[in-house]
């Protein structure tokens, strides 16, 4: 376990707060915080981190250089806290002028092989159809121009200023100095990409061996199989090792997408595969808990498709077993990263709406429910469990307070060939008095807004979009595919008390965000933003809703 001692001298209070949050994030990842430099823990530190924006006295600089430990010179330290140039000399660089803050594309440098895996393999396509492919990450920060770099300095990360490439992170083995020039702005320090890269650079400086790729096995290769396969193959640090499915066509589809896969028909073979570290369970919901326990008992981490399970006692057993074995158990709550949810969450957490006291979320339309097990209550848990596993998770992310009770009601009137309800409503009342309601309907000839939020200082309405994909068929005539409303992010309008309406920008979804967090968790120990306990809470609401329906919409307190 890496131990760090810290010297933080920052006049910028926002930057100081970000560095304090960074220390907490690193501690959560298993990095020992040995306290401030000069304290009793310094002797146990593996490295000393300096983050300063004001001049360091000469005696402090001399003490830092005399610790005999790797020295991390972070953020504005080299250009704003080193008047004598002694720290820059130790790092083997000559700092120049810094640029203004902008979007930096961070790439590995000439000696950055050790950090290559920690960079995201972006594959964004822009509106002008050009691409900027390649392994890189984005940070919003300045670039400190380094005018000179000594011959014995390893260049780990770089970024461009115009047509010139400048080092962002360097390592000098002879003096054991790591120059980490990002981190002059809070946004950069808080960035998950920056934390991942910094932790990887620290491991490199302290001569920790790089973590090996995480082998992933897929148990079941149904409709979601390609999504997991593509993400795993694109996220550095994950390795798609094996798939198990009883259906030969699905196994063929899996191996066509990833020919290196080992394909099994028996789950026991997948669980015995030494190259598999984590298993994604994509079987029907009523089998999730049993398979998750089998995976954990085999000594492997487990990711479960949503919903977590059908009953909370099943989820509790899975989480208990994961704790006993020191393994990860989490649920693939992929819609936590939807652009519209991210935009709504940003507005709520920023206080744009004031105190949010009422949220409505709607998904549906008028049409026959999907077939297969999704519409079989005994297998799926019912309509509330299907889309509810997504949307209730979003609502609880926006309103994390204690729930007083849940009420729910269902209608069964038209689609009698399936057992799921045709129309469902779930309302959560929180102890604060706030309420959040989710409606799912296959009988909605008129759509409600996707989002409807009320706060003490404003409101947000999310409007469905109707998008069409226009193409030619094989004989050259027009084909028009009308997408379901839920297949397009809604348009979000912010309503202010003065009557003005502002269209909210939706941030681009980070590619494969859940799987990137999975790689960070299993390789570096960085916490995931989605936990098994959160998904267990979603399950408790769905279970309470089912009980409320059975009791004629009586309020039920979630377990």
- 10 Å CB burial of residue 529 (0-12, 13-18, 19+) is middle
* Long-range Cβ contacts of 444-447 (<8 Å, 24+ apart): 444/362, 444/364, 444/365, 444/366, 445/366, 447/362, 447/364, 447/365, 447/485
Element (H, E) at 531: none
Provide the pLDDT confidence category of residue 25 given band limits of 50, 70 and 90: very high
Domain boundary among 173, 205, 237: 205
Structure confidence at residue 123 (pLDDT):
54
Checking DSSP bridges between strand 435-441 and strand 423-430, what pairing results, if any?
Answer: antiparallel
User: Which of 236, 240, 237 lies closest to 254 in space, CA to CA?
Assistant: 240
Query: Can you give the pLDDT at residue 320?
Result: 98
The answer to whether residues 287 and 355 belong to one domain is: no
Helix axis angle, 312-325 relative to 532-550, nearest 10°?
160
Q: Is it the case that residue 489 has pLDDT exceeding 90?
A: no
Confidence of residue 1 (pLDDT cuts 50, 70, 90): confident
Residue 178 in contact with residue 205, Cβ under 8 Å? yes
Query: Is 161 among the domain residues?
Result: yes
What's the pLDDT score for residue 475?
84
Distance between CA 154 and CA 166 in Å, rounded? 13
pLDDT above 70 (res 134): no
Q: Considering the domain boundaries, does residue 559 fall inside one? A: no
Per-residue pLDDT, averaged over 539-543, amounts to 98
Q: What is the pLDDT of residues 445-470, one digit of tens each?
A: 999 999 999 999 999 999 998 888 88
- Written as six digits, the tokens of 5 are 């001692």
> Apex CA 391: angle with CA 486 and CA 236, to 5°?
80
**Are 267 and 244 in contact, with CB atoms under 8 Å apart?**
yes
**269 vs 278: CA distance, rounded Å:** 14
Is the preceding omega at residue 448 within 30 degrees of 0, hence cis? no
Mean pLDDT of 328-351: 97
62-81 average pLDDT score? 95
Asked if residue 518 belongs to a domain, the reply is no
Q: Is residue 470 part of a domain?
A: yes
pLDDT value of position 546: 97
Report pTM. Answer: 0.92
* Domain presence at residue 519: no
Residue 392 has pLDDT above 50, yes or no: yes
HSE of 259, CA atoms in CB hemisphere, 13 A: 0
Q: Among residues 205, 239, 254, which one ends one of the domains? A: 205
222 and 199 co-located in one domain:
no
CA distance 57 to 261: 58
| Residue 558 forms part of a structural domain | no
Residues 323 and 442 in one domain: no
Residue labelled with tokens 């487990």: 302
pLDDT higher than threshold 50 for residue 129 = no
* Residue 390 token pair: 């997504």
Model pLDDT for residues 513-532, shown as the tens digit of each residue: 999 999 999 999 999 999 99
- What does 145-194 look like in DSSP terms, one character per residue? EEEEE-TT-EEEEEEEETTEEEEEEEEETTTTEEEE---SSHHHHH-HHH
Calpha distance 259→499 (Å, rounded): 57
pLDDT band per the 50, 70, 90 thresholds, residue 125: very low
What is the tally of structural domains in the chain? 3
Indicate if the pLDDT at residue 122 is higher than 70.
Answer: no
Structural domain range at position 390: 336-513+539-550
Specify the 3-state DSSP secondary structure of 52: strand
* Reported confidence tier of residue 208, pLDDT bands at 50, 70, 90: confident
Q: What is the pLDDT of residue 224?
A: 93
Residues 43 and 169 placed together within one structural domain of the fold: yes
Residue 371 has pLDDT above 90, yes or no: no
Q: Is the pLDDT of residue 232 over 80?
A: yes
What whole-number distance in Å separates Cα of residue 102 and Cα of residue 143? 9
In the numeric block, which tokens belong to residue 385? 């469990």
Q: How would residue 331 be classed by pLDDT, with cut points 50, 70 and 90?
A: very high
The mean pLDDT value for 169-194 works out to: 95
Query: Could you tell me the CA-to-CA distances from 114 to 197, 199, 394, 498 in Å, in that order?
Result: 10, 12, 37, 54
Q: Rounded to the nearest 5°, which phi and psi values hold at 302? A: -140, 135
Claim to verify: residue 408 and residue 287 sit in the same structural domain: no
CA 252 from chain centre, in angstroms, equals: 30
More confident residue, 68 or 544: 544
Smallest CA-to-CA distance from 419 within 383, 394, 445, 444 is with: 383
Instruction: Say which CATH number the domain at 470 has.
Output: 3.30.360.10
Mean pLDDT of the region 423-433:
98
List of residues 6+ apart from 317 with CB closer than 8 A: 289, 293
Q: 327 and 343 in one domain?
A: no
Higher pLDDT, 298 or 138: 298
Query: Nearest CA to 100 among 142, 147, 146?
Result: 142
Which phi-psi region, left, alpha or beta, contains residue 127 (left: φ > 0; alpha: ψ -120 to 50)? alpha
- High-pLDDT (> 70) share of the chain, %: 97
What was the pLDDT predicted at 363? 96
- Indicate if 346 and 421 belong to the same structural domain: yes
Domain boundary (302, 331, 360) is at 331
**Same domain for 284 and 393?**
no
Residues 410 and 507 in one domain: yes
pLDDT at residue 124 greater than cutoff 60: no
In a domain? residue 154: yes
| E strand residue ranges, 190-328 | 214-219, 238-244, 262-264, 278-281, 301-304
Domain presence at residue 145? yes
Instruction: Decide if 171 contacts 156 (C-beta within 8 A).
Output: yes
* Ramachandran area for residue 529 (φ above 0: left; ψ -120 to 50: alpha; else beta): alpha
The whole-number pLDDT of residue 117 equals 84
Closest by Cα among 295, 290, 260 to 279:
295
* Pairing between β-strand 214-219 and β-strand 278-281 as defined by DSSP bridges: parallel
> Which CATH number do you get for residue 262?
3.40.50.720
CATH number, domain of 184, equals 3.40.50.880
DSSP H or E run through 102? strand 102-108
Q: Are residues 189 and 280 in the same domain?
A: no
Phi and psi (nearest 5°) for 459?
-145, 160
Q: 241 and 258, same structural domain?
A: yes
> Whole-number mean pLDDT of the chain?
93
The reported pLDDT for the residue numbered 408 is 98
Give the integer Cα–Cα distance in Å for 298 and 204. Answer: 32
Same domain, 190 and 219: no
Mean pLDDT of 239-267: 96
pLDDT band (50, 70, 90) for residue 477 = confident
């Amino acid at each position: 376990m890496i131990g760090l001692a810290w010297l933080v001298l920052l006049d910028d209070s926002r930057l100081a707060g970000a560095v304090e949050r960074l220390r907490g994030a690193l501690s959560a990842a298993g990095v020992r915080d040995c306290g401030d430099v000069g304290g009793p823990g310094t002797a146990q530190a593996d490295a000393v981190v300096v983050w300063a924006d004001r001049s360091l006295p000469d005696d402090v600089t001399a003490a830092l250089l005399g610790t005999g430990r790797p020295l991390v010179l972070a953020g504005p330290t080299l250009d704003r806290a080193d008047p004598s140039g002694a720290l820059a000399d130790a790092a083997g660089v000559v700092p120049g002028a810094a640029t203004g803050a902008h979007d930096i594309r961070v790439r590995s440098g000439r000696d950055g092989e050790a950090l290559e895996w920690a960079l995201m393999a972006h594959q964004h396509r822009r509106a002008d159809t050009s691409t900027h492919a390649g392994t890189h990450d984005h940070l919003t920060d300045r670039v400190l121009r380094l005018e000179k770099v000594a011959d014995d300095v390893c260049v780990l990360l770089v970024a461009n200023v115009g047509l010139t490439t400048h080092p962002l992170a360097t390592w000098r083995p002879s003096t054991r100095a790591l120059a980490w020039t990002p981190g002059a702005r809070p946004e950069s320090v808080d960035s998950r990409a920056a934390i991942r890269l910094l932790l990887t650079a620290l491991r490199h400086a302290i001569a920790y061996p790089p973590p090996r790729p995480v082998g992933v096995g897929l148990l079941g290769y149904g409709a979601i199989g390609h999504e997991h396969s593509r993400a795993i193959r694109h996220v550095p640090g994950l390795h798609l090792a094996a798939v198990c499915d009883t259906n030969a066509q699905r196994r063929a589809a899996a191996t066509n997408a990833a020919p290196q896969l080992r394909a099994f028909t028996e789950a026991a073979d997948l669980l015995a595969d030494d190259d598999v570290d984590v298993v994604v369970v994509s079987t029907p919901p009523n089998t999730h808990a049993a398979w998750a326990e089998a995976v954990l008992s085999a000594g492997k981490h487990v990711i479960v498709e949503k919903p977590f399970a059908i009953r909370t006692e099943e989820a509790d057993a899975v989480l208990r077993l994961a704790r006993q074995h020191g393994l990860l158990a989490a649920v693939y709550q992929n819609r936590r990263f939807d652009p519209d949810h991210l935009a709504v969450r940003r507005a709520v957490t920023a206080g744009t709406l004031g105190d949010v006291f009422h949220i409505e979320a709607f998904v549906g339309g008028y049409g026959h429910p999907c077939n297969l097990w999704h519409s079989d209550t005994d297998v799926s848990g019912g309509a509330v469990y299907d889309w509810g596993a997504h949307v209730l998770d979003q609502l609880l992310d926006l309103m994390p307070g204690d729930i007083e009770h849940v009420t729910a009601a269902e209608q069964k009137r038209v689609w009698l060939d399936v057992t799921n309800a045709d129309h469902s409503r779930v309302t959560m009342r929180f102890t604060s008095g706030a309420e959040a309601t989710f409606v799912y309907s296959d009988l909605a000839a008129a759509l409600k807004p996707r989002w409807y939020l009320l706060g003490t200082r404003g409101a947000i309405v999310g409007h469905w979009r109707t998008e069409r994909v226009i193409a030619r068929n094989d004989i050259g005539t027009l084909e028009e595919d009308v997408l379901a409303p839920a297949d397009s992010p809604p348009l979000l309008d912010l309503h202010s008390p003065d009557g003005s309406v502002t269209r909210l920008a939706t941030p681009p979804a980070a590619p494969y965000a859940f799987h990137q967090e999975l790689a960070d968790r299993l390789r570096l120990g960085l916490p995931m933003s989605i936990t098994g306990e959160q998904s267990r809470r979603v399950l408790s609401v769905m279970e309470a809703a089912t009980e409320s329906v059975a009791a004629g919409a009586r309020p039920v307190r979630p377990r």
